Amino acid sequence: MRLKDKVALITGAASGIGKESALLFAAEGASVVAVDLNDDAGNSCVEEIRAAGNDAIYVHADVSKSADCENMIGAAEREFGKLDVLFNNAGIMHSADDDAIHTDEEIWDLTMNVNLKSVFLGCKFGIPALLRAGGGSIVNTASLVAVMGSGAPQLAYTASKGGVLSMTKELAIVHARQNIRINALCPGPLRTELLMKFLDTEEKKQRRLVHIPIGRFGEAAEMAKAALYLASDDASFVTGSTFLVDGGITSAYVTPE
Ligand code: NAD
């Protein structure tokens, strides 16, 4: 049990990486605060955790809103008495996100607010809670596009994830001597709703697949295992890392036949 007696808050817990992480963290002993906008799916994630005999609550929050973020952190402390792990994971990839010429300002602002401002707000209210608990671990979901440009444009998304990665590094250093570790999980392309909706034709899917050395999309459950490592004491000397879990993409010049 790698998170025994820990309290872990996960945003975007209704689907994909967040849901798989909520289930895994709970199975590893954590009390889970599952946060999302999608109340039905968020509540069913919590029901699944409880049905397995573990502890969880659902909290509705729009992570781009300050009051909601303050409330979700408060809910963890009110319900479970402390916060040890904060997984800032919720994010969007808008279908109208494109190159600089074609991306509307409102899509840019929405993407920045949900993907980047949310991580700032999670940390703004979460770090004081971790300090009250004597320290802890923060995992921020960035992306491999934080370190590589994409020829299939998604400019606002890419810029938001670059921001998550740089913010993570600075936060990790600022809080390194306060027993708080902060890392950026950088997934490659995954077979989750977020990407499959964006790649809505077989041709678009193939255009990505050809760049993945392992030859398939990643699974949310594979990201949950990486997040568990970063969240747990197994990663006790890991902070400020660009934790790439990308099927080999960022090491590839030419992919195998
Ligand atoms: P997903 O769409 O399956 O899940 C995202 C969850 O976030 C959903 O439950 C959604 O309701 C929630 N959410 C969206 N906006 C929110 C808001 N404002 N407030 C609260 N919750 C909100 O996506 P996923 O693939 O599991 O993505 C999770 C994270 O991983 C995102 O940050 C995403 O950018 C990142 N990521 C995904 C991929 C991929 O290929 N899927 C690759 C790299 C990074």
Structure tokens at 227: 């997040």
Decide whether any atom of ligand 1 lies within 6 Å of the 192 Cβ.
Answer: yes
d(CA 69, CA 124): 9
Confidence check: pLDDT of 29 > 90: yes
- Got the DSSP string for 186-251? EE--BSSHHHHHHS-SHHHHHHHHTT-TTSS-B-HHHHHHHHHHHHSGGGTT--S-EEEESTTGGG
- Stretch 12-35: mean pLDDT, rounded? 98
Q: How does DSSP classify residue 233?
A: G
- Stretch 57-75: mean pLDDT, rounded? 98
113-164 residue pLDDT tens: 999 999 999 999 999 999 999 999 999 999 999 999 999 999 999 999 999 9
What local confidence, expressed as pLDDT, does residue 2 receive? 98
CA angle, corner 130, sides to 124 and 135, nearest 5?
130
Helix (H, G, I), strand (E, B) or coil at 128: helix
Let me know: does 33 contact 7? Beta carbons within 8 Å: yes
Residue partners of 112: CB distance under 8 A and separation at least 6: 156, 159, 160, 163
Residue of minimum CA distance from atom 12 in ligand 1: 12
What local confidence, expressed as pLDDT, does residue 193 receive? 86
Residue for token pair 């997984």: 87
Distance 16 CA to ligand 1 centre (A): 7
- Stretch 243-247: mean pLDDT, rounded? 98
Distance 27 CA to ligand 1 centre (A): 21
CATH H-level, domain 7-190+220-240: superfamily:
NAD(P)-binding Rossmann-like Domain (3.40.50.720)
| Nearest atom in ligand 1 to 63's CA | 19
183-227 residue pLDDT tens: 999 999 999 988 998 898 999 999 899 999 999 999 999 999 999
What local confidence, expressed as pLDDT, does residue 173 receive? 98
What local confidence, expressed as pLDDT, does residue 48 receive? 98
Give the confidence band of 236 by pLDDT, cuts at 50, 70, 90. very high
| Mutation to probe ligand 1, out of 114, 194, 198, 212 (largest number of atoms < 8 A from CB) | 194
What local confidence, expressed as pLDDT, does residue 257 receive? 84
d(CA 153, CA 20): 28
